[in-house]
Amino acid sequence: MPLITITGLPTSGKSTRARQLHAYLAARIAALPSPNTQTPTSTSNQPKPKPPYNLHLISDDTLSIPRTVYDLSPAQLPAHVRSANASEKDARAAAFGAVKRVLSPRDIVVLDGLNYIKGWRYQLYCEAKNLSTPSCVLQVGGGRERARGVNEGRLERRKLRGEGEGKGEGEENGEKKAEDENNDDVDDTEPYEPASWENLVFRYEEPNPMARWDSPLFTLIWEDDEAQTKEVFDKIWDTIAGEGRKLVRPNQ
Ligand code: ADP
């Protein structure tokens, strides 16, 4: 199941789960026997065995897409034109291009993002299908009020740092990411503007496990502990690389 699309409300914990899933998949891939290993005793002269799968994490952060692409100036736009937001469409095109560049039966892609439009998830599903590689959706549920609180906290911290609307975008992304990776206590991730956050929640299209583009659908909630999370990740792995899916061959 090389395409794993993560979806959920803004600031509901998607990137946290995406990073956990990425680390989990990396460990599982590393533990797999390599298809090009000739003998169990390899010497330093032999080329490094190729892993059976490559792993990619694609997100707004990896693509340097700022939260401001979701700004809609709702005061100026009637509701029915909001989803036509051009900068958001460009961001989706960038994400689609990034997925398309790497997705293959040998490449597992974790696409971390809102992915809240069902037509967009359908487009991703079709792309995977075109490449004869399966896809699945992981919905991250954090609860609306908690997610709003997370965004408010980020807005507050941005204010304390002295950055206003539109300031500081992009320039700190690299440092910020490294900081987040090394220190779980620091959350200086760029917030959404409050109106954009509300609007994204309003427009969120819940995945439907009965729709083929949303299935199989896996779910993790905020409270899911390590054991429950591992259980869900094990199920995802079983579907993408376990018994149900033989190791990919080079020309597959
Ligand atoms: P999103 O990617 O949806 O914007 P993040 O993954 O960045 O959300 O998470 C927002 C904040 O919530 C971060 O500070 C993160 O550490 C925290 N967080 C996310 N998921 C959990 C969880 N399951 N339990 C505790 N804290 C969490």
The one-letter amino acid at 124 = L
Q: What are phi and psi of 248, to 5 degrees?
A: -70, 145
Whole-prediction pTM:
0.83
Nearest atom in ligand 1 to 10's CA: 3
| Smallest CA separation from ligand 1 atom 20, residue | 13
| Angle between the N-to-C axes of helices 194-203 and 144-161, in degrees from 0 to 180, rounded to the nearest 10 | 160
Residue pair 239/245 in contact by the 8 Å Cβ criterion: yes
- Average pLDDT (38-61) is 75
pLDDT at 245 over 90: no
Ligand 1 pocket mutation pick from 16, 111, 229 by most atoms within 8 angstroms of CB: 16
Position 188 confidence tier, pLDDT thresholds 50, 70, 90 = confident
Q: What are phi and psi of 151, to 5 degrees?
A: -65, -40
Q: Which residue has the higher pLDDT, 32 or 168?
A: 32
Q: How confident is the model at residue 248, as a pLDDT? A: 41
C-alpha distances (whole Å) from 27 to each of 23, 55, 157, 234 are: 6, 11, 34, 12
What's the ipTM?
A: 0.99
Nearest atom in ligand 1 to 112's CA: 2
118 C-alpha to center of ligand 1: Å?
A: 23
Q: Which residue has the higher pLDDT, 93 or 45?
A: 93
CATH class of 3-31+51-75+89-142+203-241: alpha beta
Residues 159, 193, 170: CA angle, nearest 5 degrees: 75
Q: Secondary structure of the chain: what % helix, strand, coil (to 5)?
A: 45, 10, 45
Beta strands in 22-171 (DSSP E): 54-58, 107-111, 135-141
- Average pLDDT (3-18) is 97
Which residues are near ligand 1 (CB < 6 Å)? 8, 10-16, 150, 187, 189, 222
Which tens digit of pLDDT belongs to each residue from 115-141? 999 999 999 999 999 988 889 999 999
Q: Which residue has the higher pLDDT, 72 or 153?
A: 153
Task: Of 129-133, 217-221, 240-244, give the lowest mean pLDDT range.
Answer: 240-244
